Amino acid sequence: MKGSFFSLLCTAAALLMFSCTNQQEKERAAFLPADSIIPQPVMVQLLADVHVLEAGLTSEKVNGGTTARFPDYYYSGLFKKYGVTRQRFLLNIRYYQWDEKEFRKLYDQVVDELDSRNNWFKGGKEVPRIVKPSENQVKRVNS
């Protein structure tokens, strides 16, 4: 009797976990249409560029430069490069954050990309793998 109750309890827990995961995936899919999702390789490059931009703006601010006073100008240029709007970028951040494991993997790739760029900048032999977004990878969204 105890064994069958334990089996029933384990089965119920597994079904509950699966239904929660399935429900989360449904919510995630409904959150952002598939044609608005920035592909992961492009998102890695975009996030790496965002971090480089932020570092540059922070450095300018610390050193008393005027560039840091106009971050929107630089961000609009960056988003234009990738063919996305600020809103679409932020929605994609939330979309990727929905799955913590996937978001960690994404950021591991961002860190690898930044390390690669830094190594190249310091005279390393490896050239950074810069993915230029194409029309097929990123659907242009009007503001």
- pLDDT of 134 reads 53
Q: Between the CA of residue 4 and those of 18, 33, 58, what are the distances in Å? A: 21, 43, 62
- pLDDT of 17 reads 44
- pLDDT of 14 reads 47
Confidence check: pLDDT of 70 > 70: yes
Between these two residues, 20 and 55, which has the higher pLDDT value?
55
Please calculate the CA angle 25-30-35 and round it to the nearest 5 degrees: 105
Between these two residues, 71 and 78, which has the higher pLDDT value?
78
Mean pLDDT of 63-73: 72
Task: Quick: pLDDT tens for 95-126.
Answer: 999 888 999 999 999 999 999 888 887 886 66
Question: Residue type at 46?
Answer: L
Cα distance between residue 69 and residue 57, in whole Å = 8
Name the pLDDT band for 33 (thresholds 50, 70, 90). confident
- pLDDT of 110 reads 94
Please calculate the CA angle 39-45-48 and round it to the nearest 5 degrees: 135
